[in-house]
Amino acid sequence: MTATRRDDAASAPTASAPTATPTPRRAGLGRPFATLVTGVLTSNAADGFLYFAAPLLVLTITKDPVAVAATAAVMQAVPALFGVIAGSLADTRDRRLLMITTALVRAVVLAGLLVLLWNDAVTLPALFVALALFAAAELTFDIASTASVPDVLRDLRGLERAHGVIGAGQQVLQGFIVGPLATLFFAWSAQLPFAIAAAMVVASAVAVTALRRMLTPDAATAAPTPTDPAPTAAPTPTPAEPALTFRERFAGGAVEVWTRPPLRRIVVFSIVIGILAGFGQAAYAYYMVEFLGVSEAVLGLVFMALGVGGVLGSVSVHRLAARYGRRRTMLGGVILLAVGFAVVGAAPVGRWAPWVAALGFFAAGLGSGWWNVLAVAARQRMVPSDRLGRVSGFVTTVYAFVLPVAAMLGGWVTRLDPRLPWYVTAAGSVAVVVLMGGMMRAVDDVATSPSTFAPSSESPRTSPNPAEESPRA
């Protein structure tokens, strides 16, 4: 979706009486953004092939739902150990080269896993090690690419649109292409999804090589534009800042989050919702295939409903936010997510299971599309570009310390009752909206510039902004 830029309309020449004023062109997001999206979506497709096929591979080794949940836990535990490092690398290294390197690392990991598959030598420990290495490289790629979005945009007012494009593309790939194909290919040959994933990460590395140097952390202030006035005097050299350790960057990310009350509230809310979702879907492969009796080939088609909902959510969110406000749209997305999980948990065993589960996945995809686009865009509006990496690394690290525990708990609860994790997530999400929805009041006040929400030197209780006075913050 595109929109007319206000600055374009304002700068249009005034037409004379006999000449019609030309209709302003709809502003695009630019070729650098399109190049970045190509690399991101190709990489995301590779991740999807691995993550859809890995739980099914576990089911060929064991039918234990805890082992299936451990697959997710392993990939989620990596950010706890590597999140700050990845965020620091995104802030201090050439993000373009960082994305290329991590894509090639994933290709090597997948090649090793393919060798084990072809020799029928895959074990759970070997698979978990491969998943951990892959997840570490993927995390670094994702943080670097997410932090690069503001760098490649001509106007920060396009952040919602940009993340909507990325979100819609990811949902199309995961729901319409990767999900159905990964499970169908796995039913044909266990090696095929992993081979395709290896080819896709190589393709993503090739796409990212086309990006310009604007993806470096200081690209936004690298040089004045030709219209900038020439300086009247030579600038005074600024002493170089000492290199920060990973611990200092972790602390820096924590400070950025803590001293910006609106950002802090979004982070806390997102972590709670993420924990609930991780708990509910940790053993989804076991629930769908072993409990409901959905075949592996049909499982991917069920996930197409998730893609449909995700696409509709991603492409419609900016209009809904403009009409109803960011906060209402985000909280409405969480409610839809809860409804979707409840419907999936209530799916009957037998031939109707795919249809009912598809309905639930559609609602969950629609709600997650609304929430994710607005949450990421709001966070990027509050944080300067050169600090996005460390903030993302800090948030990811905190999130990942508890998410693996939630996934393992979900696996254990699935042993007791396969439906219970889905119901717990649905009820918990509604409770979070009721109890914590007030924390999101300031989201509607987010301005179009990150500098608007500068860190406060005061206690949150003494902030002059009434929206920052919530005692829950």
Q: Distance (Å, rounded) from C-alpha 139 to C-alpha 46? A: 13
pLDDT tens track for 48-91:
899 889 999 999 899 999 999 999 888 878 766 776 677 777 77
Q: What are the C-alpha distances in Å from 123 to residues 62, 112, 198, 287? A: 10, 13, 20, 22
- DSSP conformation class of 157: G
- Interior CA angle at 327 toward 323 and 329, to 5°? 55
pLDDT tens track for 140-153:
888 888 777 777 77
Using DSSP's 3-state secondary structure scheme, residue 348 falls into: coil
- The contacts of residue 165 (CB under 8 Å, 6+ apart) are 29, 37, 314
Does position 454 have pLDDT exceeding 60, yes or no? Answer: no
> Which pLDDT value is given to residue 157?
66
The architecture in CATH of the region 31-218+246-468 reads Up-down Bundle (1.20)
Output the six-digit token pair for 103.
Answer: 């894509």
Q: Distance (Å, rounded) from C-alpha 367 to C-alpha 313? A: 7
Q: How many CB atoms lie within 10 A of CB 331?
A: 22
Does position 22 have pLDDT exceeding 80, yes or no? Answer: no
Q: Distance (Å, rounded) from C-alpha 300 to C-alpha 298? A: 5
The domain spans of the chain are 31-218+246-468
Q: Distance (Å, rounded) from C-alpha 201 to C-alpha 111? A: 11
Instruction: Average the pLDDT over 23-45 and give the result.
Output: 73
Amino acid at 115: V
pLDDT tens track for 272-290:
888 899 899 989 999 999 9
Q: Tell me how far apart the terminal alpha carbons of the chain are, to the nearest angstrom.
A: 35
| pLDDT bucket at 200, cuts 50 / 70 / 90 | very high
